[in-house]
Structure 1
Amino acid sequence: MTPEYNEEGIYTVCFCIQGEWVPVVVDDWIPCESLGKPKICHQEEGDALVDLIGGVGEEIDIRSAQAQIDLASGRLWSQLLHFKQERFLLGVGSPSGSDVHISSSGIVGMLAQYCR
């Protein structure tokens, strides 16, 4: 990303698109809803993080049967610790809902207002 402040609010960000680094010009305007809340979009397929870092992404859905087996056996926790030790870039998310809702796995739901 362009490292210095730009009075015009225009920056260049490089994305790795199909293995090639491509410069993309962006601005610092954030689209908002009528009440001033930032509009947030979701990507159903693919991984935007891969485009930012140029690496390979993997998603672990803890609702899957295999993840539940790995969670119960401790394998999932060991795998996450290994990823941390190897300094992998990690991110997490939870389904929308109430922050007082806690799943059987101990995962707290995100506030609905942040999930739109």
Structure 2
Amino acid sequence: MAPAPQHDAAAAAQGAGHAAELKDEIARLKQVMGARSDVDQAVGVLAAVGRISPAEAWDALREVSMHTDIRLRSVARQLIAWARTGDLIPEISGELRRQLPLYHSEPMGRPRRHGVAARSRR
């Protein structure tokens, strides 16, 4: 006995709805993974530049975001760009200068460009 046409239509509609839900879920997961990657890279930048632990860098990143009222991912992207270009917007730069000494006694430096050797002072 063949299934009723109404049953086939309902099953197809349910399957299409489920597929759409799965596509939405995949899109959300990709977005989260991208944001996580940005944050992880920014934590690495802060840990290296500030000479602090990754846990302290995460705390500093979070505090900068909260105190500047700039979304965490946006702050992270700015810090990643800063590591490449040396340019950082004043709001984030100022808050970093305030936050990093709370975690470590050395002042915040500018990230070195790849291939540029440090000059010694004589």
In which range does the TM-score fall when normalised by the shorter chain? under 0.3
The TM-score, its normalising length taken from structure 1, stands at 0.25
With a CA cutoff of 8 Å and minimum separation of 6, indicate the structure with the bigger relative contact order. 2
TM-score (norm 2): 0.25
Larger Rg: 2
The structure whose residues are more often helix, as a share, is: 2
Q: Is the strand fraction higher in 1 or 2?
A: 1
